[in-house]
Amino acid sequence: MFDYCIYSSGCTEGICDKSCPAYVQTTFLLDQNSIDINNKCFRAGRAAVNKALKIIDNAEKKRLVIVEAANTVEIADLYTYVGICKHWKNSRCHTVVYNLKLSKYFKYEKDRRENKSVSEDVKKDPEYMNIWAENAKLLIISAFDYITFSDRNCEFLLNLIQERDKEGLGTIIVCPSGRKILGYGSQIFSKLNTFLNDN
């Protein structure tokens, strides 16, 4: 019964009925962020967790932190997990911590714009992803690695960061080492590149 509860080691119940707030709220947040119990973030060492917590605290004070990583997906999952552990209480099953995987978001957006035959669920995905990204108390932006940024993509990302800053919400961008991103040589791409390298 306890195989999917991150608080099972400290649980005092003899039989889990899967209705306690810790189970319900953390499971909801983990599912929203596509983190299952086999994810490497659950086996992270104390030093990695403490570093992630420090970066999250910094992002919530400064509103934006950019982190370079060789494996952006793994690091983003760790920050998401630590953010969930920090913010799950009183979340009332709202997406208070969200990991926006840019490559997935841009693919869904492109498919929707091109009217590719996709299910109704997939058509709604970009809308929900956008809502969660705009409103999460802590947003982790990841999966830059395989994107060639168009003007539309650059504009979306810059606007999202600006809106979250205005609302006082914490954002962590996990980008490839060297902050190298691919894109077209337009003015807005140059602006995004400069922004990432100056922060």
Do 191 and 158 contact (CB within 8 A), yes or no? Answer: yes
Residue 92 main-chain phi, psi, to 5 deg: 50, 40
C-alpha distance from residue 30 to each of 16, 66, 92, 121, 153 (Å): 18, 23, 14, 19, 26
* CATH class of the region 15-198: alpha beta
Per-residue pLDDT tens digits of the chain, which is 199 residues long:
345 677 666 667 777 777 777 788 888 888 889 998 889 998 899 999 999 999 999 999 988 999 999 888 999 999 999 999 888 877 777 789 999 999 888 888 887 777 765 555 555 578 889 899 999 999 999 988 778 888 888 999 999 999 999 999 999 999 887 777 778 767 888 888 888 878 7
Partners of 148 in the β-ladder: 182
Q: Give the domain ranges of the chain.
A: 15-198
pTM: 0.86
What is the spatial distance between Cα 149 and Cα 154, in angstroms, rounded to a whole number?
6
